[in-house]
Amino acid sequence: MPVDISLPHLWQHLGWPLTRLLIFLSIGLLVALFIESLNWTKKIASVAQPLTRFAHLPTLAAASFSICFFSGMAANTMLAEGYNDKVITRRELILANLFNSLPSNFLHLPTTFFIMAPIIKGAAIVYLGLTVTAAVLRTLLVAIIARLLLPANATVPSQTSAQAKNRTFREAWQNTVKRFHRRIRKIASYTVPIYILFYFLSEAGFFTRAELFISEHFSWLGWLSPEAISILTFQMAAEFTAGVAAAGALLASGSMGQQEVVLVLLAGNVLSSPIRALRHQYPYYAGIFKPALAAKLLFIGQGFRALSIIMVMLLYYWLIR
């Protein structure tokens, strides 16, 4: 597939999206550094403290969990900063990142609902209810695993002198700006080249071919009707909204019932998410956490996500059969 390298096309599809990503990364980094400089971590963490205390997760994980309801980038940056400063271990970082699955799910819930509800109506409520249930199950499972893997004193992390010192807003902002300049250069040095590489892979059709390959190998989904397979194909080969639109058309014509639409959308969620996570999340994850660790976090996170959705999908199938 030929790649369009005209300046207007490059700016619209590469320059502006990359600039916007760096702006949001910068905002997330500033928020995380400012909160840390003011030593507000414990105050913000109080919302999730009971659950993280059960899980033996550090206070930083609770603060990241609370922040994640508003900004996933800020939450991840907070964890990365804590890991770089040796406030949390790698195991605690991985578990805390997985623990943030629930708030990150709620972060995108309103947008997803207002896209789906007018098209598939009641099926949207059932589908979103099941995905939220899967996110709750993931969070509870991670809490149990963390309790088994982490020592009980993990909830009381050692503080650096920078964290322990109370600062005025002016002092905190000066410290934030100083650290921001150093960190944003490092983040950009990973994010920009990886984003550009993934852009050209996308333009060359790499991800489209990967999604088509997966969508053409549905032999293990023989329990779905041909109409359901067509929704999966749209969901994999195009975007999630295309699959929802196809489901809406089949639902309106009476070719499919609400229950089958919910099942096929859940199956499409499991199949399409890994490729889209690699395509859209990895470039900025690699800047925040460094490439190897970012790949590990995405791999583990997608594995937990797929497992939890398959569990609720099987439960729903058992209840409606």
The answer on pLDDT for 269 being more than 60 is yes
Cα–chain center distance at 274: 11
* Domain hosting residue 149, numbered range: 7-155+167-320
Domain assignment of residue 160, yes or no: no
Cβ atoms of 76 and 63 within 8 Å: the answer is: no
Give residue for tokens 């390959």: 213
User: pLDDT of 88-99, one tens digit each?
Assistant: 999 999 999 999
The answer on pLDDT for 1 being more than 60 is no
The answer on pLDDT for 237 being more than 80 is no
DSSP secondary structure code for residue 13 in this structure: I
User: pLDDT of 53-111, one tens digit each?
Assistant: 999 999 899 889 988 888 888 889 889 989 988 999 999 999 999 999 888 888 778 87
d(CA 135, CA 100): 9
CA distances from 35 to 61, 97, 101, 107 (A): 14, 18, 21, 20
What integer best gives the mean pLDDT of the chain? Answer: 81
Residue 125's pLDDT band, with cuts at 50, 70 and 90, is: very high
Task: Characterize 173-201 residue by residue with b for buried, 16 or more Cβ atoms within 10 angstroms of its Cβ, and e for exposed.
Answer: bebbeebbeebbeebbebbeebbeebbee
Q: How many CA atoms lie within 13 A of 195 on its CB side?
A: 23
Domain assignment of residue 2, yes or no: no
Query: What residues contact residue 130 under an 8 Å CB cut-off, 6+ apart?
Result: 262, 266, 309, 312, 313, 316
Domain assignment of residue 182, yes or no: yes
Cβ atoms of 96 and 88 within 8 Å: the answer is: yes
To the nearest 10°, the Cα dihedral for 88, 93, 98, 102?
Answer: 50
By mean pLDDT, which of 164-173, 219-228, 297-306 is the weakest? 219-228
Percent of the chain with pLDDT over 90: 23
User: pLDDT of 206-234, one tens digit each?
Assistant: 766 766 665 566 555 555 666 677 777 76
pTM of the model: 0.78
Rg (CA), the chain: 21
Q: Which residue has the higher pLDDT, 202 or 300?
A: 300
φ/ψ of 281, rounded to 5, equals: -95, -35
Q: How many CA atoms lie within 13 A of 37 on its CB side?
A: 20
Domain assignment of residue 93, yes or no: yes
Helix (H) or strand (E) holding 284: helix 282-289
Question: Tokens representing 109?
Answer: 């819930």
DSSP for 202-251, please give it. HHTTHHHHHHHHHHT--GGGTTS-HHHHHHHHHHHHS-HHHHHHHHHHHH
**3-state per-residue secondary structure call for 138-154:** HHHHHHHHHHHHCCHHH
By mean pLDDT, which of 31-40, 143-152, 255-264, 294-303 is the weakest? 31-40
Q: How many domains does the chain have?
A: 1
